Amino acid sequence: MSKELKPWEKIDKLEQSVMQDSADDVAALYDALGKVPFTAQALGLACRYRGLETVKVLAERGAAFTFDLAELKPVHLGRSRYFWLELYGDENYSFGLLSDVKRRETYELNNIGKMHCGVSLVSLSERLKTLDYLLENAEKLGFKADEFLFYAYLSDEREMIDFLKSKGVRASERLLKIITEGANNDDWLNYCYIVGNLPDDKFFRVMGAIVEECAEQMPGRKLHFTEKLWEYNERRFVEKPEFLKFLLLHFNQAKINKTKLMKKIIDRDNVPCLEIAAENGLLKQPRKRDEMIDYANEKNAVECTAWLLDFKNRTADLAAERAKAEKKLERELNANPNSASELRKVWSFKKRGDGTLEITNYRGNSTKIIVPAKIGKSAVTAIGKEAFSPFRDRVCHGREFFRTITEITLPDGIVEIGEMAFDNCLALTAVVVPKSVSVIGKAAFANCKGLTVTVERGSYAEEYCKENGVKFKDK
């Protein structure tokens, strides 16, 4: 028979016999076939569907989980049945002993099993007997007990884990290194995919065991985190506080995009997860905290907005934050006060049709503001609509900041103040308006109850104040 069959036909014959025949028939066929160039999958099928007797028949005749990919490729090209996926060389068909592990080779074993009606996974007790046999003959069969244990953890196979550990087996250091340092290979992708597909009720058992194994073999290391792991687990981490706690405790936070994480939490208006983020220092920086307040407000995340504002009131030293920001800003401006790049840090503006600039928003931190006459080489001639109002569509601070501004001085050369430019600046007590102003929009000083506008006698600004009931005084 061996002279009549092609190499790939021998492989198919052996695998079909494993799935359909008795152990004695498999033995007789194997003897008749002679050398079979690829036996790893047949051995995996026996482990999964036939049991120890068939595994022994194959092993005693030279079957093993190892194979030479370069030697096998020409043979593989001729195959037509049962082999849907290309071989890569790192397949481990001993994983067929595991009831459910999502790897390329086990998908293939499952597909072959489905081709044979009535074929199902052998009992756990039988698989444990087979595992014992594989362990005793590991070198001969190419059985990698340490890698098998790692994947037993990932598939939550407690009985197999306990058995291997009782025999002194430790999980693969190579694989533990990959999940703590990351790698650009199939092992890393398999790990991310398997973790992402764990049912919620298994996640903590599986990952907790992995963390313990890492702690024993690699003390001090945390689990690696990448966008691929995030892609598979995003729902858990941003919806359920207990999963977010696990993420921040056991994964390397340096690789976590914390801004993205918090925004996803806010998108769901999930206050419990936001509290976990704060407890782990993700809102420690005032700039980040205020950025999240603005984002929550823009997304109409009512519960998160309220919680963030309360968090700020409870934890922030607003005076110290403002003083620190003002000192930093002062240092930068003193270095080159007329530099457009420096002033751009403080002001948002746009160009008008005549080439001059219109201030659209204040980005600084001082509550006593002097608007520049120029930014770079361009003159500032207008204050835009709602430029200082906390009600504008987009703000660079938390909205509450604009209600703390006390003084604003406008330079000579300003010709226009837009509608509601200072609306609802509740702490504003003084605005100096130059004689050059010839247009002031509707409600420019609305809801500024303590405000006194300083104007020049006979100016347009004086007329505006009289007509609109705005308190003013002469320069």
3-state secondary structure the chain: CCCCCCHHHHHHHHHHHHHHCCHHHHHHHHHHHCCCCCCHHHHHHHHHHHCHHHHHHHHHCCCCCCCCHHHHHHHHCCCCCCCCCCCCCCCCHHHHHCCCCCCHHHHHHHHHHHCCCCCCCCCHHHHHHHHHHHHHCHHHHCCCHHHHHHHHHHCCCHHHHHHHHHCCCCCCHHHHHHHHHCCCCHHHHHHHHHHHCCCHHHHHHHHHHHHHHHHHHCCCCCECCCHHHHHHHHHHHHHCHHHHHHHHHHECHHHCCHHHHHHHHHHCCCHHHHHHHHHCCCCCCHHHHHHHHHHHHHCCCHHHHHHHHHHHHHHCCHHHHHHHHHHHHHHHHHHCCCCHHHHCCCEEEEECCCCCEEEEEECCCCCEEECCCEECCEEEEEECCCCCCCCCCCCCCCHHHHHCCCEEECCCCCCEECCCCCCCCCCCCEEECCCCCCEECCCCCCCCCCCEEEECCCCHHHHHHHHHCCCEEEC
d(CA 365, CA 234): 36
Q: Which of 73-77, 127-131, 139-143, 383-387 has the lowest mean pLDDT?
A: 73-77
Between residues 155 and 376, the one the model is more confident about = 155
Band of the pLDDT at 391, cuts 50, 70, 90?
Answer: confident
CATH class assigned to 327-474: alpha beta
Single pTM value for the model = 0.66
Question: Which tokens in the block code for residue 123?
Answer: 């009992």
Q: Measuring CA to CA, which residue among 156, 165, 102, 166 is closest to residue 124?
A: 156
Alpha carbon 211 to its chain's center? 19
Band of the pLDDT at 323, cuts 50, 70, 90?
Answer: low
Give the start-to-end residue ranges of the domains of the chain: 1-171, 327-474
Q: Measuring CA to CA, which residue among 458, 457, 453 is closest to residue 469?
A: 453
Span 434-446, average pLDDT: 95
14 with 36: CB under 8 angstroms?
A: yes
Taken in order 78, 81, 85, 90, the sign of the CA dihedral is negative
Length of the chain: 475
Residue 362 has pLDDT above 60, yes or no: yes
Residue 219 has pLDDT above 70, yes or no: yes
pLDDT in tens, 1-15: 545 788 888 988 999
369 with 410: CB under 8 angstroms?
A: no
pLDDT in tens, 345-357: 788 899 999 999 9
Residue 53 has pLDDT above 50, yes or no: yes
Provide the pLDDT for residue 319: 63
Residue 27 has pLDDT above 70, yes or no: yes
Q: Which residues pair with 378 in a beta bridge?
A: 375
Provide the pLDDT for residue 377: 81
Question: Which tokens in the block code for residue 466?
Answer: 């009289």
